[in-house]
Structure 1
Amino acid sequence: MDLDAVADELYGLPPGEFTAARDERARAARTAGDRELAERIRRLRRPTLAAYAGNLLARERPDEAGQLLRLGAALRQAHQQLDGEQLRQLSARQHQLTFALSRQAGELAARAGQPLSDGVRQEVQDTLHAVLADPEAAGEWARGRLTKALAAPVGFPAPATRPAAATVTDLDSARARRRRRQQEEREQARRRADEARREQRLREEEWSVAEAQQRRAEEEQRQAEDERRQAEQRVSDLTRRLHDAERDQRRCQEAAQQARDHAQAADRALREARRRAEDAAARADKLDRL
């Protein structure tokens, strides 16, 4: 058992199954004598639903994931080189691919029994935009071990939902209005997502405290179990010694009774012998007087 193998297994599980499986693997490592690995496993954080969906996408759709990673590299290069034409072309591709992949993530999660709300789907799409903008985020996502959604980048070439004048100058006015409307919707969704993430951080802090309390309780339970077993062993030893002592007591009582019986018999024999001696002495005296 090693940490990478355990992490790969755990982050492929739905969030609701993560904690129990993680704790089971930690207990197995501790039983095997590797307390350091057990503690490292126990520190693994349960993924949010959006992170789980993003991990599922990276794991189940490697070809599409590779397309996104290559598009991100091309976008970052075009951005650094200020290549407007390349940015125009890649921006359209960016929108198409992230939208398609976020939809696929939703389908994969739904098939796994984890349907996504619109807000969670938006978090998945923000994660995909972060993957395009940041090579470190891309590497983290490609491993399939995200614990929370990644924040959408600021200052990177905008997805194609921005107004036409910002990125693509040759789009017609109808498409520009649609993109402005989509941008407004995204801003509203982002504000809701920010609020949800603040709530998430609060709950994760509470969860962390609860996990620490659980670990302390489990340690106290283990110590109590050890003390109980030791006490039961002491009781067993004392019970055995008590049984041995009671057996010795009965044997001694029987021996004492036999000794008393022998003493009483000897006393009777002594009295009888004394009586006979006295009778004999009396007859001898009587004969001497004749």
Structure 2
Amino acid sequence: MDLDEAAWELYSLPPGDFTSARNKLADRARADGDAAASKAIRELKKPTLAAWLANQLVRAEEDRVDELVQLGDDLRDAHASRDGDRMRELTSQRISLVRDLGRAARELAKKSGHKVTDTVGDRLAETLDAASVDADAAGLLRTGRLTSALRHVGFGVVDESGEPAEVTPISTARERRATGKKTTKKQAPARKRTQADKRAEERRRKEAREKLERAEAELAEAEEARAQAEAELDANEHHVEDMRTAVERLTDELEKARAELERAEHRTGSLERALTRASRAATTARRRRDALAEE
């Protein structure tokens, strides 16, 4: 399994589809006998909505993302040479490009049925800003596998939790062993193995197998608990979105009801005045009739 390609595909999916797709892919890798790939895939984290938007921009707006990164390089050069006019020009271009990319992200989100709140929009803008001023942030953005929005602070780049930003590595232990440097050591002279040595080795193997079995059982239990927690989190996030939509709908209805109430109250005043005039006219007409009847 090509892990880079698998990760690229996973992080192109809507956030709501990420967890189930990742777990299915990890299960398939395990079924194929590639436990290391399965573990590496399961370690991939679900992106926040802001991170997902940034990842989609890398796919759909690659040229403009590259332009943003290049602007960052040019800005650093202008700063190093203390070219104030050039810095102002490039800064204006950067602000405009970040704004355009933000609009493009909102369109991408709309097509996928997601609404971009002001908070999410701000986090996306911070991510793009970070990529334009910090080479490390630019490198993280261009992977297309962000799990959290980025923010540039005085000492580097952090994620939404304030921790140093990074992208989950997907290389497996098998690949690390294959690409790692091999070291050679001078071998000590071999000694003849005794029966006691063999028994001791067998005990060690048995203990190792038992530990491995316990570890596998604990891992399976932990993975099940994590999958359950992620499923609950996904369900809650959908519930939050539904409630947010409901609040917006009810807010609109409330505003309409208030406007209708204001119109009705205004009409009530008009009708009350009309009733007063009609009552007075009726009283006058009654008196006139009574006076004629007495003649």
Structure-2-length-normalised TM-score: 0.53
- CA shift, 1:83, in A, is 1.7
Give the Cα separation in 2 of the matches to 1:61 and 1:37: 30
Shift of 1:152: 3.6
Paired amino acid for 2:24: E
Q: Quick one: distance in 2 between partners of 1:129 and 1:199?
A: 16
Q: Which of structures 1 and 2 has the bigger CA Rg? A: 1
Secondary structure of 2:151's counterpart equals coil
Offset from partner CA, 1:1-46 (integer Å, 9 cap, x none): 1210110010001111101000000000000000000000000000
Q: Summarize the Cα distance change of 1:54–1:214 in structure 2 as closer, same or farther, 3 Å threshold.
A: farther
CA apart distance, 1:130: 0.5
User: Is the CA contact (8 Å cut-off) linking 2:150 and 2:160 kept in structure 1?
Assistant: no
Distance 1:214 1:155, change over 3 A: closer
Which residue in the other structure is 1:16 paired with?
16
Report the residue type matching 2:58 in the other structure. Answer: A
Q: Is the 8 A contact 1:49 1:120 kept in 2?
A: yes
**Paired letter, 2:84:** G
**What corresponds to 1:84 in structure 2?**
84
Aligned residues of 1:2 and 1:37 also touching (Cα < 8 A): no
Looking at structure 2, the residues matched to 71 and 135 of structure 1 have their Cα atoms a distance apart, in angstroms, of 11
- Greater share of helix: 1
Letter in 2 for 1:18: F
How far is the alpha carbon of 1:121 from its aligned partner? 0.4
TM-score (norm 1): 0.54
- Within a 5 Å distance, the mapping from 1:113-192 to structure 2 comes to 113-154=113-154
SS at match of 1:12: coil
Relative distance call for 1:14 and 1:90 in structure 2 (3 A) is: same
| 1:27 and 2:27 matched | yes
- Amino acid of the structure 1 residue aligned with 2:146: L
| 2:221 is equivalent to residue 216 of structure 1 | yes
1:60 aligns with 2:60: yes
Task: Provide the rounded CA distance (Å) in 2 between the counterparts of 1:136 and 1:128.
Answer: 12
Equivalent residue for 1:75? 75
Shift of 1:214: 8.4
User: CA 1:96/1:61 → structure 2, altered by over 3 Å: closer, same or farther?
Assistant: same
Distance 1:149 1:85 in 2: 31
Change in 2 beyond 3 A, CA 1:81/1:199: closer
Give the Cα–Cα distance (whole angstroms) in 1 for the partners of residues 75 and 155 of structure 2: 13
Question: Which structure 2 residue ranges, 5 or more long, are not aligned?
Answer: 164-217, 226-295
Alpha-carbon distance in 2 for matches of 1:111, 1:29? 31
Q: Percent identity?
A: 41
Q: Give the CA RMSD over aligned residues.
A: 2.9
User: Does residue 42 of the first structure (1) align with residue 37 of the second (2)?
Assistant: no
Q: What CA distance in whole angstroms lies between the structure 2 residues aligned with 1:56 and 1:44?
A: 17
Change in Cα spacing, 1:123 to 1:214, as seen in structure 2 (3 Å) is farther
Which runs of at least 4 in structure 1 moved beyond 2 Å after TM superposition? 152-156, 196-200, 217-220
Deviation by residue 1:48-100 (Cα, 9 ceiling, x = unmatched): 00000000011001121121121111112112222211111111111111111
**Distance in 1 of aligned mates of 2:161 and 2:120:** 14
Counterparts of 1:219 and 1:96 in 2: how far apart (Å)?
46
**Contact 2:134/2:152, CA 8 A, preserved across alignment:** no
Q: Is the 8 A contact 1:56 1:109 kept in 2?
A: no
Alpha-carbon distance change, 77 to 39 in structure 1, aligned in 2, over 3 angstroms: same
Q: In the aligned structure 2, how far is the partner of 1:81 from the partner of 1:10?
A: 42
